[in-house]
């Protein structure tokens, strides 16, 4: 997302920190995915950003939803999403939450272990289950395949077990890892998935669905390929490996790639200090207030606005809480004369920011604002500047 005049105006006049979103990006991302991945059904990964405006926008576009908990199911039901449009994609579910999901009418459940199959057979009998394959993780910022998924042979035996317990052995899912830069990861994963389909067909268990997971990257500091490039690779891999399955149903679960580029996190410098030879800048967002992913090394593109100075020097950048873990980056180039009240824009911060926010230190999570609300509108002047 670009810094538009509306964003600049909000940054000047509204109390920071806040996330400012533009739903046009979400709409474009949705169309980009359904245009380039053939016959795909989108299940938006609600955990990336569960703001009602995003859910409503995607609801109206016809999206489905990947949910992680009873809390998310309740939220979606309240927003008028029918249960047929939800998939319970968390492989770690409480039995009472499975029973709840079944009671409201959810039919899709992810599994990667025998126990999860038993839980679903007992509390959501006859439901459609799909087994999650672990991928190599390769070139991604956030691998997800140690805690989640299992090997091809294990997925096969889990799906056979599901069939024995009276469940509908429905499909296979994988996740190549969040922010995966290697387009070939999808080819590898689809080949692995086809093995599961093939082996089980020989045993007369006919899976019908392939779930591509998430993982298409969002632009931060590295260059990324287009959704079309990923779509082309996926379409080719489907032709190559999956054409033996008639009427294959295809799911995809974008989270970051649906909302990541739809927002900017706007924060304000609230202190600058010198400690020995170190220059520190402290802002009003931080690891516990929107920038959680930075503790795992995630790099945002950071732009500044305020005192004009072309010279940049290296700073330590930290959040506002009394906790040393709340240090965002130990090395970031910022304008040499940056000072109180200057603005930092964290670009493409629409995913996994407000969802991870806490109230630690008695400090509220960043608010969420929408660009469309500010066009041609008077803005409340909320900011205080240092004299």
Residues 144-203 that bind a copy of itself (CB under 8 A): 144-148, 150-151, 154
Tell whether residue 342 is a contact of a copy of itself (CB under 8 A): no
- Residues 6 or more apart whose Cβ sits within 8 Å of residue 347: 1, 3, 220, 264, 300, 301, 302, 303
Contact 163, 169 (CB under 8 A): yes
Give the span between the Cα atoms of 109 and 116, in whole angstroms. Answer: 10
Tell whether residue 331 is a contact of a copy of itself (CB under 8 A): no
How many residues touch a copy of itself under the rule CB under 8 A: the total is 79
Among 84, 96, 239, 309, binds a copy of itself (CB under 8 A): 96
Tell whether residue 95 is a contact of a copy of itself (CB under 8 A): yes
Q: How far is CA 29 from CA 33, 63, 113, 132, 274, in A?
A: 6, 12, 33, 25, 43
- Among this protein's residues, is 322 annotated catalytic? yes
Give the span between the Cα atoms of 10 and 70, in whole angstroms. Answer: 35
Among 113, 136, 199, 304, binds a copy of itself (CB under 8 A): 113
Contact 321, 360 (CB under 8 A): yes
Among 280, 306, 307, 379, binds a copy of itself (CB under 8 A): 280
- Going by their DSSP bridges, the two strands 302-305 and 278-283 should be labelled as unpaired
Residue with tokens 């980056």: 329
Tell whether residue 357 is a contact of a copy of itself (CB under 8 A): yes
Among the residue ranges 85-93, 195-203, 219-227, 307-315, the one whose residues contact a copy of itself (CB under 8 A)? 85-93
Bridge-partner residues for 283, per DSSP? Answer: 269
Contact 63, 23 (CB under 8 A): no
Of 86, 84, 61, 62, whose CA–CA distance to 73 is shortest?
86
Tell whether residue 334 is a contact of a copy of itself (CB under 8 A): no
Tell whether residue 361 is a contact of a copy of itself (CB under 8 A): yes
Q: Give me the 298-327 binding string for a copy of itself, x by CB under 8 A, dash otherwise.
A: ------------------x-x-xxxxxxxx
Among 362, 376, 378, 380, binds a copy of itself (CB under 8 A): 362
Q: Which is nearer to a copy of itself, 225 or 316 (CB)?
A: 316
Among 22, 32, 107, 112, binds a copy of itself (CB under 8 A): 112
Among 49, 91, 182, 262, binds a copy of itself (CB under 8 A): 91
- From 115, 202, 322, 386, active-site residue: 322
Give the span between the Cα atoms of 46 and 85, in whole angstroms. Answer: 12
Bridge-partner residues for 168, per DSSP? Answer: 128
Interactions with a copy of itself, residue window 49-78 (CB under 8 A)? 50, 67-75
Active site residues: 322
């Amino acid at each position: 997302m670009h810094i538009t005049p509306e964003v600049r105006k909000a940054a000047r006049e509204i109390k920071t920190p806040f996330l400012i979103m533009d739903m046009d990006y979400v709409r474009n991302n949705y169309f980009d995915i359904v245009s380039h991945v053939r016959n795909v059904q989108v299940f938006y990964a609600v955990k990336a950003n569960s703001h009602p405006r995003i859910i409503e926008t995607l609801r109206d576009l016809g999206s489905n939803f990947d949910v992680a908990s009873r809390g998310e199911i309740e939220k979606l039901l309240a927003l008028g999403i029918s249960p047929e449009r939800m998939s319970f994609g968390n492989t770690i579910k409480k039995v009472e939450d499975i029973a709840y999901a079944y009671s409201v009418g959810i039919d899709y459940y992810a599994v990667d272990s025998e126990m999860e199959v038993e839980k679903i057979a007992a509390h959501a009998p006859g439901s459609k289950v799909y087994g999650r394959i672990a991928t190599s993780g390769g070139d991604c910022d956030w691998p997800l395949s140690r805690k989640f998924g299992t090997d091809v042979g294990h997925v096969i035996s889990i799906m056979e077990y599901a069939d024995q317990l009276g469940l509908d052995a429905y499909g296979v899912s994988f996740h190549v890892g969040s922010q995966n830069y290697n387009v070939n990861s999808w080819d590898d994963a689809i080949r692995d998935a086809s093995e599961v389909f093939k082996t089980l067909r020989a045993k007369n268990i006919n899976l019908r669905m392939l779930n591509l997971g998430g993982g298409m990257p969002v632009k931060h500091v590295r260059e990324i390929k287009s959704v079309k490039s990923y779509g082309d690779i996926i379409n080719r891999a489907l032709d190559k490996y999956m054409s033996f399955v008639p009427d294959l149903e295809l799911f995809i679960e974008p989270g970051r790639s649906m909302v990541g580029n739809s927002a900017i996190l706007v924060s304000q410098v609230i202190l600058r200090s010198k400690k020995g030879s170190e220059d520190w800048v402290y802002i009003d967002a931080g690891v516990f207030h929107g920038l959680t992913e930075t503790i795992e090394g995630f790099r945002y593109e950071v732009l500044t606005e305020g005192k004009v100075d072309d010279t940049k020097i290296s700073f330590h950048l930290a959040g506002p809480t009394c906790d040393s873990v709340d240090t965002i980056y130990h090395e970031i180039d910022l304008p040499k004369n940056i000072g109180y009240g200057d603005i930092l824009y964290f670009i493409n911060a629409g995913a996994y920011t407000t969802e991870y926010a806490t109230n630690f230190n008695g400090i509220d999570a960043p608010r969420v604002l929408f660009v469309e609300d500010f066009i041609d509108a008077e803005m409340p002047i909320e900011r205080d500047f240092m004299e």
